[in-house]
Every structure is written in C-alpha cells, then in structure tokens.
Structure 1
C-alpha cells in the first residue's frame, strides 16, 4: 500500500530518537564560494514536476516525473535529457503508458533505466539505449498488484528495482538478461520509495511501514538476506532518501506528516543517522517542510541533501555536510516562485551536483519542471 504524500504535518520532534551527531547551522562564508545555479528545463506542459535525477557525467543526465497534471489526477510521463548544454524533453508518445515516472538511473553514456507508478494495471519498466525509450518485459508485468518505485544500477551492470508484488515489498534484480524477484521484505504493510547501492552485493531500501493508525520510517539492507533496521518512529513518517557509507554509517531523510489539521498542510523535515546500534536525530536547521534526497561526494560520503523550507520559500533549500555536522545552504534567488526540490545527485567525474523538482510546492498549473546545478 502506498502511503507517502506530498504534504505533511505540523512542526514537532521525531519521536523515539536520541540526539544526533553534529547540529545543523547556518552556512559559513567558505560554503558560499561555490553556489547553486538555476538551469532552465523548458518544454513540458504545466503542471509539471521532476521527481528524480541521475547523471552519467557533465555531458549527460536524465530527469523524470510528470507533466500535464490537473488537480489530483496523475499527469503524463515526463523524461528530460541533458546534453551538456541544455535540457530537452524526450518523446514518450510511442509508449503505452500515461502515468508518472518515479525514478531514473543512468548507465554510463549510452543507457538508462526508468520506472513508473501503475497506470491502470501497468507499472512500466523503461530502457533508453541511445535513441528512444522502450518498454522492457519483466516477471509480473501487467499484474494488478505489481508496482515499481525506484531503480539503481551497479558498476557490474546489475539493475536493482524496489517495488511490490504479491502483496509484499520486494526487490526485482536483473543479471544479464534475466529478471528475478527476490524474497519479500519481512515487514507487514511496507512501502518502499528508494533503492541505493553501497557495493554490488549490498543494497539499501527506504520507505515506511504500518504503525498503529499511521506509519513509521523503514530502512533495510539486502546482502543475500534481509536485515531490517529498527523503525524510525514518528507521526506518519516516511523515508524518501538515504545514503549508506557503511553498515554503521547510514543517513536517512524524509518527512513526518503529523496528525490532524487541514489537508495540504506542511510537515516536518526528518534527518536521522544510524551508527550500527541505534538511530539518532539531527535537527535539520528548519522545522516545517521536508527533506527529499541525499547525494554522496566522490569519496562516497554523504555530501548534499535536497529539501524544502516552508517558512522561507523564496529560494531552494539544501543541507551540506560540514565536518561532523550539516550546514543550511540556500539556492539561487528570483528564479522560481517557490522552488520545491525532489532529488539531488552527483555528477560522476566531477565535484558537481544536480538537483531537480518544480517551480512551486504545489503540482498545479502554472508549476513547471525545475533544475539547479552546483559546479564546484
């Protein structure tokens, strides 16, 4: 069952966690030397949003999401391509799919994979091979209870997808040309939203699980068998991004939706750290909004977190690793009404990063696709 929503709850602490390492502080002058810059992403039909972004290098990146959204209804699949100088919209009209694309992963300079939310009874698996996107057959394709949520590709070429089948959260793996669903995650009523790789044989997933009348944050590891970390407790809390530098050094971000209040109210950003024994909470530097993704630097250390600060929407908001703590960094001014970032990713071979999202926090016209770039 999918529970995560865009909006969340009132300001409050994440329950059940110890005080975390390194408080977040305002950005220091040294962090202002290199800045985020807005990069136009034209061509999509409002309302449009980019949900995930992946780069193969300075000359190639993909971002996916949806366009043409009207009210609560899903829009059409959107895929945008960076060629080193500009974004352009990729043609998807030949595909038998109209829903939102939820994730993308580049594979070198010639290929990419993308997955999407179910539209009708189909959750698509797409592959780019240099000329066009095409649908790929996999076990369970077209089944009513199958959903694909996030995709990652290892250096060995294996493709990992988190989703659901048979009423359970699972991983779908591709080795060579063979697809295989792995053992179900041993957690009832779990939803997975992100899959990341630490090594070719160590896969991490994040999402949420049923807890009382709501849900709590979920992080688990697959290395041939499942290891489920203790729940990240809170009032309707979901994990949307994570980074594992080691089995005892894991960062996770998300949103705590809270309880009660009007629909559409903002929630509480969540930033937690796993030290191998327990989760600890880190105050993210603002109390109302969300944290959405984590990107690592070239040394594999968590470096940037994308977010949205409800109390200061004039610019995009990031957290940047600063020694043992995190520093709040603001994006460019005056480039969007109130930009909302959904993801952040490194640019391989450089010290740069991309982020992606939309020009306002509400996916309704005239909201458009939006991206920013950090060139160190």
Structure 2
C-alpha cells in the first residue's frame, strides 16, 4: 500500500515565536536571531524541486530531486553538487529516472541516492552511487524487479549503507557493506510504508512512515538493531511521519503532516510534532496550524536541533522550528529571495554547527518554480 509522502515547506526571518515547551515542562528561552541565508541553486528546468540534501562537510554536499515536472516524460531526475563555493547541476543525461527521492553521503566516494523507476509497473527503483564525478547505477539484490521500491538511504561513517523500501510485497531494510547487500526481515506491520531511514549508530537504525488504522493511517516509527522494535502508532487522522531524530530510545522526535478529513479541495494538512519518552507519544504544538513539517536534524551533541516546515498562512519566507533549551521556537528564513519558498529537508554539516535546507521557490510545482536551498553557517 502506497500513500502520499507528505513533505514540507515554506515560511521563513530571523527571530521567532516561542512555542509551548516540550513534554519535559521546562521553560523556553527567549528566541535569538538566526542567520539562515538563501544560496542560489541555478540550472534546474522549471518546474523543479530538491527533495533531499546531504553534506559530507563544508566543502562537499549533494542535493537531489526532480525537474521538468509535468513535461512529456513526466519529469527528470535532478542532482546538484556543492563544492564549497557554489551549487552546480550534475549531468544526468546518461540516466532516465524521473526523480530522485533521497541522498546520503560521508565523503567523495561514499554517497548514494535512490529514486523512482522510469516504468513503475515494469521496473524497480534505481540505486545510484556517486563516483566522485557523477552518479552511476549500482547493483543490488532485486535490481530491476517490478515492485522493488527504494524510498530513503543513509550512510554510516564506516560506509555501511542502509535503505528502506519494499520487495516482494513486504516493507524491508536493505543493508550494504562493500559489495555485499542483504534484504533484512520484513517489518512486522501490515499495510505500512517506510519513507525515511535514519542512523543513530552503525547498529541502530530508525525508520518512519505510516500504517493503516482501518479508516485512514497513523504515524509509524520503528527501530532495527538486529530485530524490529515497533513503537506504538502515533494517533492521527491520516498522519504520515516524514522524518525523525533519535537521541536515545527514550528521546525520539518525529515530524510530519496530518491530512485530516473534510475541508475544501486543496486544503493543506496540519503540522505534526511528536515526542517519544520511552513510554508514550506526546503531541507538541508546532506554532502554526495549517501546513506541514518535513525534516529534522540534530546538532553536534546529538540532540534534535532544527525542523524544516511550511506555514500555509505565512508563505513569504521559509519556516523552521529551532530547539531552544527544552522547547521549540519558530524561526523564519531570509525575505525577498523566493516568492514563497517551500522546504523539503534540513541536514547538518559535519564538522561544523551549520546546516543546509532544500526545497523549491514556491509550493506549487508549476513554472517558474525552481530548485532552492538555504544555509545556516556555523
């Protein structure tokens, strides 16, 4: 069963609006000014968007997505490379994929991406590896099989690769070490999807998505450490978890969108911010009611630090939530850089206290919407 993967979006400035404290009950400090800056990502063919971004350090980062949406071919894969000074579009004319969903990398020879097949009926999702110059398809068990889907990828410092997806009608993880690949035991949850895989340590892997609850779907979070541990469902009306950050088994933050029911056509969903304390999930107010939360990233101490989002009621700048003590504060990105920037992801820059975010210049995938990135320098 496949459902829409809700990603997020736009609203951004400097200082913020303090939200209610997280479940610990501690006070939220006074918000500080934050220096998110737009960074040009030229070369995409509208309409285009970046779905994911990853950094190996200040001098190397990758961003992937899609361009020419709605064109004769239904769109083309889009990839960009950061060289420490600027973004440059990567030539993908040797590939035929319609979009790239996720990217992860730790050095120039250990970066991976997953995408959608050209023919979703006859073919399977591609796995791509960065060779230092461009992206090339890589072999893995099930390559080219109908029904094989690769949704998200993560890479450890020792270059182990973890992918969430499905094969043979079952939701699974695919694990790679060197040239050896193995599909692991199916997730023991019926009618479920995993959209994001996240590493806490080489042997502790977290994944999130959604699962059927009979009349819709609930948020899903699970941990793999040699066997599956599935956390209780996150209750909601058509709730999808897009990303998570696990500081420990009793400190997990999950973000996403609750589509709800009813309302006019095109009604946006509601942002979902959820915390697991080892016993139960607690919903935390996001500070706005219409929109979504798309990504979450940790700081150098391993704590959840930044969340990317989209505030439907204030689309003039990008929107973030910043961890302040034990609470969260709304922070807005730069003004006047895009009509209504929409963020899909946020990621830390290793070796620094900086971050990248990526998305598109407006929430509507129609011309002249183009690829978009912002950076918070250390």
Q: Which residue of 1 aligns with 2:12?
A: none
Matches within 5 A, 1:1-376: 1-6=1-6, 20-21=22-23, 28-29=30-31, 31-32=32-33, 34-70=34-70, 74-95=74-95, 97-120=96-119, 121-376=123-378
Offset at residue 22 of structure 1 (A): 6.0
- Give the Cα–Cα distance (whole angstroms) in 2 for the partners of residues 98 and 174 of structure 1: 22
Q: Any unmatched runs of 5+ in structure 2?
A: 9-20
Q: Which residue of 2 aligns with 1:12?
A: none
Offset at residue 5 of structure 1 (A): 4.5
- Give the Cα–Cα distance (whole angstroms) in 1 for the partners of residues 294 and 232 of structure 2: 21
Does structure 1 retain, via aligned residues, the 8 Å contact 2:338–2:361? yes
Q: Residue 249 and residue 72 in structure 1: after superposition, are their counterparts in 2 closer, same or farther (change >3 A)?
A: farther
Does structure 1 retain, via aligned residues, the 8 Å contact 2:7–2:294? no
- Give the Cα–Cα distance (whole angstroms) in 1 for the partners of residues 152 and 316 of structure 2: 30
Q: Any unmatched runs of 5+ in structure 1?
A: 9-18
- Give the Cα–Cα distance (whole angstroms) in 2 for the partners of residues 327 and 51 of structure 1: 24
- Give the Cα–Cα distance (whole angstroms) in 2 for the partners of residues 178 and 338 of structure 1: 44
Does structure 1 retain, via aligned residues, the 8 Å contact 2:6–2:256? no
Give the length in aligned residue pairs.
Answer: 363
Q: Which residue of 2 aligns with 1:14?
A: none
Does structure 2 retain, via aligned residues, the 8 Å contact 1:63–1:79? yes
- Give the Cα–Cα distance (whole angstroms) in 2 for the partners of residues 244 and 147 of structure 1: 25
- Give the Cα–Cα distance (whole angstroms) in 1 for the partners of residues 298 and 262 of structure 2: 36
Offset at residue 107 of structure 1 (A): 2.3
- Give the Cα–Cα distance (whole angstroms) in 1 for the partners of residues 317 and 29 of structure 2: 14
Offset at residue 128 of structure 1 (A): 0.5
Does structure 1 retain, via aligned residues, the 8 Å contact 2:47–2:367? yes
- Give the Cα–Cα distance (whole angstroms) in 1 for the partners of residues 43 and 27 of structure 2: 38
TM-score (norm 2): 0.92
Q: Residue 25 and residue 191 in structure 1: after superposition, are their counterparts in 2 closer, same or farther (change >3 A)?
A: farther
- Give the Cα–Cα distance (whole angstroms) in 2 for the partners of residues 51 and 194 of structure 1: 12
Does structure 2 retain, via aligned residues, the 8 Å contact 1:38–1:373? yes
Offset at residue 287 of structure 1 (A): 0.6
Cα deviations by residue, 1:94-153 (Å, 9 ceiling, x for unpaired): 12x321100000122333100012331131100001122110111111111110000001
Q: Residue 98 and residue 362 in structure 1: after superposition, are their counterparts in 2 closer, same or farther (change >3 A)?
A: same
Q: Residue 215 and residue 196 in structure 1: after superposition, are their counterparts in 2 closer, same or farther (change >3 A)?
A: same
- Give the Cα–Cα distance (whole angstroms) in 2 for the partners of residues 44 and 345 of structure 1: 21
Higher relative contact order (CA 8 A, sep 6+): 2
- Give the Cα–Cα distance (whole angstroms) in 1 for the partners of residues 260 and 105 of structure 2: 35
- Give the Cα–Cα distance (whole angstroms) in 2 for the partners of residues 101 and 74 of structure 1: 13
Offset at residue 20 of structure 1 (A): 4.9
Q: Report SS of the residue matched to 2:314.
A: coil
Offset at residue 73 of structure 1 (A): 7.8
Offset at residue 26 of structure 1 (A): 9.5
TM-score (norm 1): 0.93
